[in-house]
Every structure is written in C-alpha cells, then in structure tokens.
Chain A
Amino acid sequence: MTVAVPLEQQGAAFPRGLARYGRPAGIALLILALGFLTLYPMAMLLYGSLHSTPPGMAGEFNLDGYANLATEENFQALINTTILSVVKTVLSLALAILLAWIVARTDTPGRGVLEVLITLPFFIPPILTATAWAMLGNAQVGTINLAWRWLTGSEGTLVDVYSYGGIVWHMMQYSTPFIFLFIVDAFRAMDPSLEESSRMSGATRWQTFWRITFGLMLPVTTSAFLLSFIRGMESFESAVFFGTPVGIKVLTTQIYDLITQRAQPDYQGATALGFATLALMFLLLVVQSRVLRGRSFTTVTGKAYSPNVTRLGWMRWVTFAICVAFFVLTVALPVGQLILSSFFQFFGFYQLDMLTLDHYRSVWENRQFWGAFGNTLLLGFLGATATMVLGGIIAYITTRTTWRGRRLIDILAWLPWMMPGMVLGIGFLWGFAILPHAVPIYGTLWALLLAYVALGTPVAVRVTSGAYAQIAKDLEECSRVHGAGWWQTLGRILVALAWPAFAVGWVLIFFGIMRELSASILLYVPDTEVLSVVMLKMWNGGKPEAVSVIGLVMLVMVLIFRWVQLRFIKRRISTL
C-alpha cells in the first residue's frame, strides 16, 4: 500500500483541472496541429481556386475556376476516371480479400512466404512496373504477344497494355497489395468461434465467409476500399503512361494540363478541379459512415480463443495455385524483368555481350544518390513514426471516445487523401513559402517532413482505427481500473494489441515517403534532396536501368522490414 499515497494525492489534486481543461486543451492542440498540416495548405488552395491569380499576385476573387470546369472534356475525364477507379478497386478488393483469407485463415501451404512476396509490387516505383509491363504487353513486340504468336501461329494480339484494361491492370498492381496489407491482420486477429458458430448454424463455407468473415471485416474493408478508390481517382502515372497513347483522359491529366500546358499556368482551374474532386470523395465518406453506423465489429475479445485456420483439405492446393498465379503475374514477371535488366546495359535488351554491373556501380558511386538516400531514410523513419503516432491518437479519439470535436478531427485527417497529390503539393509550397521567414520550415527538411506526415495521416488513421474497432472495449477499461492512465492504456493495451496494424501502417507510410514526388519536388532544396527526385533525375537522364537498381534496393528493404515485423507478429500470434 506504500505506492498508494502519492497516487491519492495526485488523484485529489488534479482531477478537477484534468477533467475541465486537460481534455479540451489536448483536443484543441490536436485540431491545431492537424489544422496546420491539412487545413492550412487546403486553405491556400481554396484561395487559389477562388482567386484569379495564385497567392502573392495581384488579382481578384471570382468563381471562374469553378465555372470553367463544366466542359465536355472534363466530364469525359470524370467518367473515365470513375469507371477506371471503380473497376480497379472492385477487382483489387475481391482479389485482396481472397488472398487475405487464404493467407490468414486457411492452411494453404507456404502462406507465410506468400504473405511477404505478394505485397512486393506495391513497393516498386510505378514507372518501373509500367516500363516492365510495356515491354511484356505491347501489341507489337510485347513478350506475351510474341509468345502467343509463336505458340498459336496466329498473327493476332493477345494483350495490349495501352488500353483501359492496361491502365486497370497497372493500377491493380498497387491497389491489390495495398488493400491486402490493410486487411490481412484484421482477418488474422479474428476469433474463429465467430466463424465456427456460423458453420454450426448450417451455413456453408461460402456463406460463412460472406456473411460472417466479410461482414465483420466491414470497417476495415470499406476503409481500404475508400482509400484505394480515392487513390484511383487521383492516379496519374498509369493513366499517362498507358492512356495517353490511346487518348484516354483522366482528371489528373486534366489538372496537369491546366498547370503545365498554358502560357499562364491556370492554378485557379487546377485547384478548382481539385476541390471538385474532393467534394465528390467527401460524399463517399458520408456513405461509408452511414453504412458502419451503430454496428459493432469487435472480434478481439478478452475471452479464450485459439486463432485456428480453416482446414481446406485438397482445396488448399487450389488456394495455393491462386497465390502462386498472383505471384507470378504481378511479382515474378515485373520484378524478374527488373532484376534481369539491372544486369544488362539496356532495359529489355538481353544479349550476353550487354551483361554489365555498371548500373550497380553507377548507383553505388553516385554521391547524390547516397545523400538523398540518407535524407529519405531519415524522413522515412521520422515521418512514418510521427505519422503513426498521430494517426494512432486520432483513430483512438474518433473510434473510442465520444469527445466533442472528434468528427472534425476525423474529417481533417481525411482531407490530404482526397486532394490529388500534384495539387496538394502546390498547397504545401504556397503555405510554407509565405510563412514568416523566422519559421524555419521552407527550404528545410521540416517542410518535407510536415508534408509527408500530412500525406500519410489518412492511411495511419484508417489502418489503426480499423484495428481498434476490432478490440473489445473492456480490455481497455480493465487496464484503466487496474491503475493505468490513458496514455499507458493506449500504449500497453491498444497499441500493443493493434501492433500488426501499426507495423503495416508504418511500412505503407515509410514507402509512401520514399516514393512521394509531387510535393517533394516543390519543397526540396539542394541540401534536402530526396530519393524520388534523384530517381526522376536518373529517369529523365536516360538511366532507367539505374532506377531499376534503386527500385531493387527498395524491394530488399521491404523484404527486410516485413520479415522482421512478421517475425514479431507471428511470435505474438502463435501465443494466441
């Protein structure tokens, strides 16, 4: 009872102040921080969309930006974008759920290795997979078509990646692993008795999967769906690479053209289009919160359970085959292409006399690369960690409390995801540049760090709130009653239980930072060069093979990170 004395004093002295000021102050601080990260650049953009000239120039307020949106071209682009995004998201979601179920809830052989391998495509810079697929699937001399012609003797074309299908396929290379990573731990952490009781009630395996497993996973799957769908609406690389040659326009190419294809860049039009997109996305959010309202998705409870896997019998070879097929199609082909071409003088020209280690040497000896790599690692570690901390707190407040202001926080945390990256980058540039010169943000690493945290927060919040939603509330209350404070409980119970989700979120954000270009290129200065900028330089300097080498370096990092993380997760899960 000796410890009880200070506790008692503390309890007597502070509760009034804590209750009355502590929480509102905390909320206010959080809203302020989030406001600076998200609302501030957004406000700059809003100004831009309502003003005839960008910030810092004389002009007038008008609605021309919005009025000029209603063109047939924009309408066509909106339809294209929506169709592309819906198709790719639905397909990816279905595939990702299937894969997550196979990996987490069945006894499919080799699923531990598969889990790491099938996520690899997500971490390859899009320009590299696009190049790889362009070589594999072009109509004229694509490897797949050549093989098809050789096999069948026909003159026809089996696949053409320069098409709607090509765009969808390329986007799926990213969205499927993304959604998979997002949902797999939720599948893993589920109490099997929930499924078993469904089977005992006479439901078939398929009914059980659909009505119970999938139903319980709704918060996390709808979150993943939304994140992925919105990202699809903002996707640029796939559409430009595979769409431009066949005249497919999307929203982001329209925005890009407004900025780059005018004697006077039309920032008003570009930001207005950005906000119009944002408004559409916002409607989706409202729908999601309606769908999820008032339902419980607790699957991790304080009761005993053993996370059993379904024994599939001979069927497990079918699921195994599905995984392998996915692996071959989305990983082995493009990654193999990358590895192969990194040893040849030219991407796609595999002649023995062109074998070389020059690309590795050129990257190894590139001082710029190492400087940027160091900066990016620093930003990645700091940024991903800070983002997960921020996201974890926001998710806690929005999912576990009834505090006033939590809806606002939730919305603030969504905003950066709903604004196309190239527009948001401009918002950061404007916002940070006009700060008083005494604030050391513009032109420093801070500018990049803050932008990265803002850009990563939506993912962090979604990942963690999905995980929190699964954790029974009494596990947390039990901790409070037994003497742990709010922060202790957050750290030792919630975060500890949601740790797999935190790990995944961290990796997603870390590699998001490694890849981010739109904001980076507007905010970096020579001292703070980052990897994505160096990769752009190499690409534009005609060195796609060197970019492949960097891409492979990133893949090795992913493998190491995931391997370490999964070892920890598995150790924990195996004790469950």
Chain B
Amino acid sequence: MPSVTLQGVGRHFGALKAVDSVDLAVEHGEFLTLLGPSGCGKTTTLRMVAGLERNDTGTIVIGGRTVSDAAAELFVQPDQRKLGMVFQSYAIWPHMTVFDNVAYPLSVRRLPKAEIRTRVMTALRLVEMEAYAERPAPALSGGQQQRVAIARALVFEPEVLLLDEPLSNLDARLRSQMGDEFRALQRRLKITTLYVTHDQEEAMALSDRVVVMDKGRALQVGAPETVYRRPASRAVAAFFGAPNFIDATVRECRPEGDSHVLTIEGAGAQGECRTAQAQRPGDTVLVMIRAEDVALGRSNEPARPGQLVWRGRVTDGVFRGSRRSLAVDALGRRFNVECPATRAAAVGDDVTLKVDAENAWALSG
C-alpha cells in the first residue's frame, strides 16, 4: 500500500488553480520529489499534504488514513497527521535550545521525560549534532540549523517526512554535502519522503522518483533518469538544463524494446532517433538532444546508422575547466554543445554534429 496517496487534489484561489487535480502515490520508503519552477504549485501540494492548507478538491490519504476529503468536508488538522517537516527557513524556534527544538514533537505529545531524552539524543546523533544539544538554537550556522530541523522532523518517527526546499538556503558545497548525507540517512531509515525543490540536479541526485510540475499540474512522474532522458513533453524537457530541439518529419517507424526507433529527416538533419509512441510516416516531431550528448566531427563527416547528424559552424566557446561549452549555429538555430575541453573545435570551424539515436528523443510535434 502506498504511504501517501493524492487523488484529484486541487487548490483554487478564485479562478486561479494553484494546484489542479494532482494524482500521486508515494510508495512506502520512497523518496519522491516535487520539482518545478516557482509558482508551479509544488509547495502548495506539499502544504496540503501537511494540512497547512486545505485542498478544495480531491482526497489525501496518509498511511492508510484519509486525512482530507474535500467532498466529505473531512479535514484532519496538521498536528493529527503524524508528519515530520523541514521548512525552507528551517523554522528553528529562536527561543529554545537545540534539544528543546528537537524534543518539541515529543513533548507536545506528552511523552515521558526519559523517553524524550533518549529519542532526542538518538535523533541528534543521526545528524551528528549531539554535541550541540544545549546550545541556543539561533547560535548555529545554517548547515547546523538544517541538521537540527531534520532531527526534529525525524524524532517522532513520522509516517511521512516532508521537506520544503530544505537546501536552498545553503551554499553550493554544503548543499551537495547535506543532500548526500540526507539521502544516505533516508535510505538507512527507509522513511517515506516527499521533497520539494526547484533545483533539478538536487532532485535527480536524491530522488527515487521525480514529479515534474508546472502551472498546477503534474506533467510527468518517473525515475530521474527517465524524466531527464525520456521527457514526456517539451515543457518537461526544457526544465532540465538547456536542451536542443530539431523539427523533423518521420520517414519510418519500428518498435524496439519498450520504445520505437524513428527514421527522420529534417531541414538538414537526418538519421535515427527514439520516441515513446509509434508514429506514422509524415508526422512531424520535435527531437530533443542534450548538449552533453552531441559529438562534433569534421565538417563533412557522413552519417552512420544509429546516429542523427547535421552540420553547423562554431560561433562561440567558453572554457569551463573540465569541459568547454560551445555555441554552434546550425539549421538556422543556435545549438548548445558540451564537450571535453581539450578536444573541442575552435570558433569559426565548420563541424558535423552527431548524436546517437539512443540520445535523441522525439516528442510528438
């Protein structure tokens, strides 16, 4: 049984549908991330799960218990939902010590003092903060506050852990370190986690599955790699990095494995690519190619089977240490290409752009 289920959950502000009928099932022990640009409704969705906002439509079930049913006017208050949550600001209460902050979920439930002590210290040990227990909370650094917030969210062994952009206030290095630590902790405790972020790298690094949201709707749900490499729509594709697109016409279509191989021909580009659904010859498609999947060849290199090939000229290059970002004008567009720094073409070179059919993903036009 899934740990959290959302069915047709929506939240409306007048005519604006901040969240528009979202269906979602988070499996037990799964790390699910709600990903999307700001204003896409991901935080609102999380807050509805938390009970901080009321859903106007649909039902929410946590751990087999319906906590909200808009039609039946059922609404369980947040404190009755047995959740843990980490806020973007950490929401560390400045008037309490670290220990008191972490002990709060237990003390409001009137657990015996001794048990509180053990559980708080265990939770603090989990985040390696046991040495700071008696510190006043505001005297901590950002990363330490983050750990305290996590310990507090975990101490009650909640049904589900909710995190609202918990890493966004940290600097880049600390962010990836904290992310890794948290992921390890989550795996170890096997705690169902619903995570909200606008950072796609973070989402992919941490999640079992990612839900890409935009304008209040869930666009695609899937494993990070699937969502990245096999997006369901242009909007999903465009959300990760700056992919390249080619308009093309289908010449031929054959199934292979769980997808289809298309032979396509566009204005100057030709070769093979993959897609989710069968297409008929003559259909127009939009082919997505990730910048790091493009290889550059000499100006007039011929196409080989299993490749998609087109030609262009390098117009700009930026050295980034381990790699170089090139801008290539081709097919009347500007293509982004990432290649190894030492083996890149120079600005002004005519080049052939090549990509394996595996890495060219066609979306229905």
A and B in contact, CB less than 8 Å:
yes
Question: Which residues of A line the B interface, CB within 8 A?
Answer: 1, 3-4, 7-8, 10-12, 15-16, 18-20, 300-306, 472, 474-475, 477-486, 488-489, 492-493, 496-497, 499, 572, 575-576
A497 touching B104 in the complex, CB below 8 Å, given contacts A15-B80, A474-B87: no
A474 and B77 form a contact (CB under 8 A): no
A303 to B109: give the CA distance in the assembly, Å. Answer: 25
Q: Which residues of A lie under 8 Å from residue B108 when comparing CB positions?
A: 479, 482-485, 488, 492
B281 at the interface (CB under 8 A from A): no
Interface flag for B89 (CB, 8 Å): yes
Most buried by B among A15, A300, A493: A15
Interface membership of chain B positions 271-283, coded 1 if the CB is closer than 8 angstroms to chain A and 0 otherwise? 0000000000000
The residue from B65, B80, B89, B110 contacting A303, defined by CB atoms under 8 A apart:
B89
Determine if B87 and A478 form an interchain contact, defined as CB atoms under 8 angstroms apart: yes
Interface: B85 (CB within 8 A)? yes
Specify the chain B residue showing the minimal Cβ separation from A3.
Answer: B109
CB distance from B233 to the nearest CB of A (A): 33
A-B contacts at CB below 8 angstroms, number? 137
Chain B, residue nearest A477 (CB):
B52
B74 at the interface (CB under 8 A from A): yes
User: Of residues 115 to 161 in B, which have CB atoms within 8 Å of A's CB atoms?
Assistant: 136, 138-142, 145, 152-153, 156-157
Q: Tell whether, in the assembled complex, residue A18 and residue B91 are in contact, meaning their CB atoms are under 8 Å apart.
A: no
Specify which chain A residues have a CB less than 8 angstroms from the CB of B185 in the assembled complex.
Answer: none
Q: How far is the CA of A479 from the CA of B105 in the complex (A)?
A: 8
A90 to B77, CA, bound (A): 46
Contact with A along B71-82 (1 / 0, CB 8 A): 001111111111
A302 to B110, CA, bound (A): 24
- In the complex, are the beta carbons of B138 and A305 less than 8 A apart? yes
Decide if B95 is an interface residue (CB 8 Å cutoff): yes
With A301-B89, A477-B91 as contacts: A576 and B81 at CB distance below 8 Å: no
Bound-complex Cα distance A434 to B93 (A):
50
- Complex: how many Å from CA A475 to CA B162? 15
Using a CB–CB distance below 8 Å, which chain B residues touch chain A?
50-52, 65, 67, 73-85, 87-95, 97, 104-105, 108-111, 136, 138-142, 145, 152-153, 156-157, 162, 169
Task: Please indicate the chain B residues that have their CB under 8 angstroms from the CB of A305 in the complex.
Answer: 138
Whether B104 contacts A482 by the Cβ 8 Å rule is yes
Chain A hits for B162, CB < 8 A: 481
Q: Select which of A300, A474, A477 is within 8 A of B94 by beta carbon.
A: A300
* Contact (Cβ within 8 A) B52 A480: yes
Query: Smallest Cβ distance from B192 to chain A, in angstroms?
Result: 14
Tell me which residues across on chain A come within 8 A of B93, comparing CB atoms: 302, 475, 478-479, 493, 496-497
Q: Are A481 and B65 in contact (CB under 8 A)?
A: no
Is A481 a contact of B83 with CB atoms below 8 Å?
Answer: yes
CA distance A10 to B65 in the complex (A): 12
Decide if A575 touches B139 in the complex (CB within 8 Å): yes
Q: Give A18 to B78 CA distance when docked, in angstroms.
A: 13
CB <8 Å contact, A478 and B77: no
Given contacts A3-B111, A481-B78, 19 further A-B contacts (CB under 8 A): A3-B110, A4-B82, A12-B65, A302-B90, A303-B142, A303-B145, A472-B89, A477-B50, A480-B51, A481-B79, A481-B81, A482-B83, A482-B104, A482-B153, A484-B79, A484-B108, A493-B93, A575-B138, A576-B94
What is the chain B residue whose CB lies nearest that of A307? Answer: B138
A7 to B83, CA, bound (A): 12
Residues of the A chain whose Cβ atoms lie less than 8 Å from the Cβ of B77? 11, 15, 18, 480, 485-486
Q: A18-B77, A482-B152, A483-B79 are in contact. Are A7 and B94 (CB under 8 A)?
A: no
Contacts of B111 in A (CB 8 A): 3
Which chain A residues border B141 with CB–CB below 8 Å? 304
Bound-state CA distance A56–B118 (Å) is 69
CA distance A301 to B84 in the complex (A): 19
B92 contacts A485, C-beta separation under 8 Å: no
Are B138 and A480 in contact (CB-based, < 8 A)? Answer: no
Tell which of A20, A302, A483 touches B92, judged by Cβ atoms closer than 8 Å.
A302
